Structure 1
Amino acid sequence: MDISFQQVNFAYAPNTPFEKKALHDINVSIKTGSYTAVIGHTGSGKSTLLLHLNGLLKPTEGTVRIGDTLITSETKGKALRNVRRNVGIVFQFPEHQLFEETVEKDIMFGPLNFGIPEDEARKRAHELIEMLGLPADVANKSPFELSGGQMRRVAIAGVLAFKPSVLILDEPTAGLDPQGRREIMELFERFHKEEGLTTILVTHSMEDAARYAEHVIVMHEGSAVLAGPPEEVLTDAEQLSAYRLELPRSVRFQKDFERLVHQQLPQPALTEEKLAEMIAALAKEAGEPK
């Protein structure tokens, strides 16, 4: 499901004394099946952009196309139902959205709301409980009896249960420890690959953008100022600094290493593992007899 923004502007409370322009002339495209990271400092417009992706906000000017649906300022709710059926959003702290009396019912809510038969919805709920590494007996427990990490997995299952084509992740690891962050991000990567999802990660983490995304959009003061592969967008320190962003940690380490040994590595290291691999190869080459 291709997504495109064409000359999109958005203002909160337009034509009032409280008008606040939040997006300015956005022109970006996201290809079906891609993994895109949207990065930017606080207040850059990331969240406003995200809310246009399933019609929670509509552009003040311009158009947003999601698959076959064109969204303008005049688009009515009925036209947005198909978009919301195909676009799932995992918000920050998604466990705060749990509300049903059992885990099973909470996961089933989305599919039932979109007309999926009860038996099929129940089957999906139990499949996701297993896939997300939750104990089978949580199905009949209250979600509020679970640990924080388990609650988050239940909330994620509720989004995945109606099988969206597009999965939007809004800072999905907020509040988790490093191990929990890695587990959740690897879970999303697995679903992205196995289900062929179009995944959009909205994040402050340069490391997550570098590790998982194949396309990066940089937001700054309501504008999309950069877009391209992470090897290009996330390796230019001067350019990122202009938008109040830093290089990913592994790229910083790489540049320090290259200055130390007076030699460039063959490609940007977007993860610590890739950097270690290239340094090991360089050391092995240096140790071999000429």
Structure 2
Amino acid sequence: MDISLQQVGYSYGRNTPFEKRALQGVDGTIKTGSYTAIIGHTGSGKSTLLMHLNGLLKPSEGIVQIGDTQITAGTKAKELKAVRRHVGIVFQFPEHQLFEETVEKDIMFGPMNFGVSKEESRKRAHELIELLGLPPDTAQKSPFDLSGGQMRRVAIAGVLAFKPSVLVLDEPTAGLDPRGRKEIMELFSRLHAEENLTTVLVTHSMEDAARYADNIIVMHNGHSVMAGTPQNIFGDEETLASFGLGVPRSVKLQRVVEKMIGRPLPVLALTEEDLATALARAASEEGDANA
């Protein structure tokens, strides 16, 4: 389902002495089936925006349109249940949300809360245990007896168990080592493709935004200030810098190489693999020219 934001604003502590403006006039569109990254420095409004995507927060003004449901300041809580069934959020450190005595029960909790039968919920739990690469005997273990990486996978399974069509990820690799980070991001990339998900990634990592997303929204001081493809966004280094953001490491290295060879490479290298391919092509073209 498409998600659109129309002049969305939000204030914490509204109409109190502690009121703080977090979002102002945010516009944006997240298309069905897309992989969208939301980037911005700390305090830019990324996480506040994320909580509007399934009605955890309602806009102080403006409209959040999620499929056929329109969310405004006056939307009642009972009207949001359908939205929350279709939009699942994986928060930072999702393992902190585990609470049941077994992994199976923890994964079953979400779908059963939405009216799915116990038998179907158990079936989904075991399918997800396999899908997420956990050992079969994990089902009857306490989630608190697992490793940190396994606990995170169980928490992710709990979100996937009610079969959301939109998956929202809030810094999902926080606290993981480089290997764990790569495994989790590749897992989400695979799920995005295999489950036909609409994926929204909130991240500080320019590398992850460049590698996985096909659309990027840039937040700055509560405003949506840029939107476009990774090529467009990371190709505009000057504007990004004005918002306190950099480019992926591969792009930085590309600029160094371009200075060394005295000419630009034909494409923007969003990943190390892209850069290696571009360098190989440039070397081949130079060799042909000198032949």
1:219 corresponds in structure 2 to: 219
1:191 corresponds in structure 2 to: 191
Structure 1: gaps of 5 or more residues = none
Matched AA of 2:104: E
TM-score (norm 2): 0.98
1:151 corresponds in structure 2 to: 151
Cα distance in 2 for partners of 1:234, 1:274 equals 14
Cα distance in 1 for partners of 2:252, 2:239 equals 14
Please report how far the alpha carbon of residue 266 of structure 1 lies from its aligned counterpart in structure 2 after TM superposition: 1.2
Cα distance in 1 for partners of 2:196, 2:146 equals 30
Cα distance in 2 for partners of 1:62, 1:182 equals 37
Q: Does structure 1 residue 114 correspond to structure 2 residue 120? A: no
With 86-95 and 272-281 compared, the bigger mean Cα shift is at: 272-281
With 89-98 and 260-269 compared, the bigger mean Cα shift is at: 260-269
Cα distance in 2 for partners of 1:235, 1:98 equals 41
Matched AA of 1:229: T
Structure 1 residue runs of 4 or more that deviate by more than 4 Å after TM superposition: none
Q: Does structure 1 residue 104 correspond to structure 2 residue 104? A: yes
Cα distance in 2 for partners of 1:218, 1:9 equals 16
Matched AA of 1:26: V
1:141 corresponds in structure 2 to: 141
Cα distance in 2 for partners of 1:281, 1:223 equals 40
Cα distance in 2 for partners of 1:176, 1:234 equals 25
Q: Is the 8 A contact 1:254 1:269 kept in 2?
A: yes
1:2 corresponds in structure 2 to: 2
1:76 corresponds in structure 2 to: 76
Structure 2: gaps of 5 or more residues = none
Cα distance in 1 for partners of 2:71, 2:89 equals 18
Number of corresponding residues: 290
SS at 2:88 equivalent: strand
- Identical-residue share of aligned pairs (%): 69
**Alpha-carbon deviations, 1:13-61, whole Å to 9, x = none?**
1111111111000111110110000000000000000000011100001
Please report how far the alpha carbon of residue 264 of structure 1 lies from its aligned counterpart in structure 2 after TM superposition: 1.4
TM-score (norm 1): 0.98
Matched AA of 1:3: I
With 60-69 and 229-238 compared, the bigger mean Cα shift is at: 229-238
Q: How does 1:33-182 map onto structure 2 within 5 Å?
A: 33-182=33-182
Cα distance in 2 for partners of 1:277, 1:78 equals 52
